Structure 1
């Protein structure tokens, strides 16, 4: 009997060896139940769960809003600079084992300032964690501040003003939270101001929202990268445009599965995107809630879709090429991928 051209063991070894860039990671979504309990105790915060197991049992979502409800509840234990530092470093230590060499991290300042936590407290904690991760683990980073789309434009503008003193540490702006009913057009003026400040624009679009939201993100927000973007495939002209313009899509397989965007991991659009010439990438989104970090996502989707060696390498290249790294750093990581 002939051997398969690319065995599961070979696929696993290749993924494990692949230098990975993660472009879609919400740092608040890496809050594991164990750390949540530790921080609740440290800060005297009451939480409605009596065990780590009870928290994990609550991670049973039927849609994006169900997830967001518990996500914001978990966020309540983050109070001090040390908390944000510990959260960030815990994520970096975890993905170091997955072969992550570069991480572009989202954070949601409005989720903290609305409950009385100073913007500077959040920034000091996250940036100190990123800096320690780079020193100790060699993981480079970029930091992207997201606006919560269920809040109004005025709140987003206020957040942008709070960010001005931190422009030397901020690299981009994003748009997340409840998509349906909150089109990108709601934040057109905010994104124009952010771009004028030199911040890279990206946005969640086409996860639960329609292809029209993807068009708005491109045309009105001027985004240079699409977070999720699954539903763009429903519009052939839009798909061709994304391919033609070389836009990177930050796809999150386990997130799509857990939030019922897809029914099975084999329904992930990753292979279809690659076949259509789209620069798709693999990411974990909110790994503590969705049951897998970046390597877990790679392994699951590669097995389910029977990805070839070249397709896996292309996913890795797409992430490096779509990152905000300087050209010399991108070239170094791409050379490492080509050497596999």
Structure 2
């Protein structure tokens, strides 16, 4: 949506401060992907789990990924330290503190039940820890958080159906369901019956598609799963008909630039398709995906993108941030409150520019 404010005069030099000050929404964040190496080692010591790395420096040195699968192998290994409700609470609250520092107002966070239940960690343990952290974040950080469990696409449809069944006692505390993990050779259609059941339960639908997978996977997520948001979606530009359909439906794309860079989807941020996605009129916003592994939380994703992509200006900043609130599944009153705060921050920078 075009800004109601006069933003064209805001200089690029002011953008870092503007981006830092603005309220934000994060819609593509895997809570297990916020497990920083320091906390990973602390939890490993607490739980008597041996990690295959000598120290934090050695673990960080392993964060050189050739593709999505090489990241996932390390990601799932890191999750092995999460065993108790306190572990999940500590991990989630550490992210919520960073989110509050980034001025995030709304976070719709993913978690992977199958990653934990497959290790013998009860779903009740996962939920207890996450819910305790969410309650603290609402009370102490004024942060609105909602939970979206994701099905692992490299596992079977039957496993996903069992996981959905196990989630039923927690239905009132879940916003929706998603689909993540390795895209290659796992098209969305594999899970069409799972998502049909989720829709019957009134759960909102999101799905990873079009990161490593082809544009056909985005079509599949839309048509076979009923996805209301596409997580990543950057490869949509390879299919003009798909771009037109995404624009017609105003389907949000939760783009994660530092993730795309770290997983070799783009060779460098200067080559990222974000400006073209905006030029095509697509409803794009930025997110951090798995920030502990990819080198930056939401604020850092914004900062680095605006530094690397000179086409992005204050109008693009406003569009991206407002899209985040509008693409959230929060109610209209909450969205309106956050957007009013966003307008106030941008108006302040605009006024400061005009008085110089």
State the TM-score, normalizing by the size of structure 1.
0.98
CA distance in 2, matches of 1:242, 1:208: 18
The answer for the alignment partner of 1:101 in structure 2 is: 105
Q: How far apart are 1:6 and its partner, in Å? A: 4.5
SS, match of residue 175 in structure 1: strand
The answer for the alignment partner of 2:224 in structure 1 is: 220
For residues 133-190 of structure 1, what are the alpha-carbon distances to aligned partners after superposition, in whole Å with 9 as ceiling and x for unaligned?
A: 1110001011101000000001000000010000111011000000010000000000
The answer for the alignment partner of 2:297 in structure 1 is: 293
Q: How far apart are 1:7 and its partner, in Å? A: 3.6
Q: How far apart are 1:305 and its partner, in Å? A: 1.3
Q: How far apart are 1:115 and its partner, in Å? A: 0.6
Q: How far apart are 1:17 and its partner, in Å? A: 1.2
The answer for the alignment partner of 1:312 in structure 2 is: 317
SS, match of residue 66 in structure 2: coil
1:28–1:107 contact (8 Å) kept in structure 2: yes
Q: How far apart are 1:50 and its partner, in Å? A: 1.2
1:8–1:303 contact (8 Å) kept in structure 2: no
The answer for the alignment partner of 1:33 in structure 2 is: 37
The answer for the alignment partner of 1:331 in structure 2 is: 336
- Work out whether 1:188 is the aligned partner of 2:192: yes
Equivalent position to 1:65, from 66, 69, 72: 69
The answer for the alignment partner of 1:54 in structure 2 is: 58
The answer for the alignment partner of 2:27 in structure 1 is: 23
Structure 2 unaligned segments of length 5 or more: list them: 1-7, 347-356
- Aligned pairs, number: 337
Equivalent position to 1:242, from 233, 246, 249: 246
Name whichever of 151-160 and 268-277 sits farther off. 268-277
CA distance in 2, matches of 1:270, 1:167: 35
The aligned runs of 1:275-286 (5 Å cut-off) are 275-286=279-290
1:29–1:289 contact (8 Å) kept in structure 2: yes
Q: How far apart are 1:9 and its partner, in Å? A: 3.0
1:252–1:285 contact (8 Å) kept in structure 2: yes
The aligned runs of 1:82-101 (5 Å cut-off) are 82-101=86-105
CA distance in 2, matches of 1:10, 1:69: 40
The answer for the alignment partner of 2:204 in structure 1 is: 200
The answer for the alignment partner of 1:262 in structure 2 is: 266
CA distance in 2, matches of 1:279, 1:304: 21
Name whichever of 153-162 and 261-270 sits farther off. 261-270
Q: How far apart are 1:200 and its partner, in Å? A: 0.4
**RMSD value, Cα:** 1.0
2:12–2:313 contact (8 Å) kept in structure 1: no
CA distance in 1, matches of 2:131, 2:238: 39
Q: How far apart are 1:8 and its partner, in Å? A: 4.0
CA distance in 2, matches of 1:318, 1:266: 22
CA distance in 1, matches of 2:69, 2:184: 10
1:203–1:223 contact (8 Å) kept in structure 2: yes
CA distance in 1, matches of 2:135, 2:272: 34
2:236–2:243 contact (8 Å) kept in structure 1: yes
The aligned runs of 1:117-156 (5 Å cut-off) are 117-156=121-160
CA distance in 1, matches of 2:13, 2:105: 23
CA distance in 2, matches of 1:208, 1:134: 35
Structure of greater relative contact order (alpha carbons < 8 Å, 6+ residues apart): 2
SS, match of residue 238 in structure 1: helix
Q: How far apart are 1:212 and its partner, in Å? A: 0.5
1:84–1:122 contact (8 Å) kept in structure 2: yes
State the 4+ residue runs in structure 1 displaced beyond 6 angstroms. none
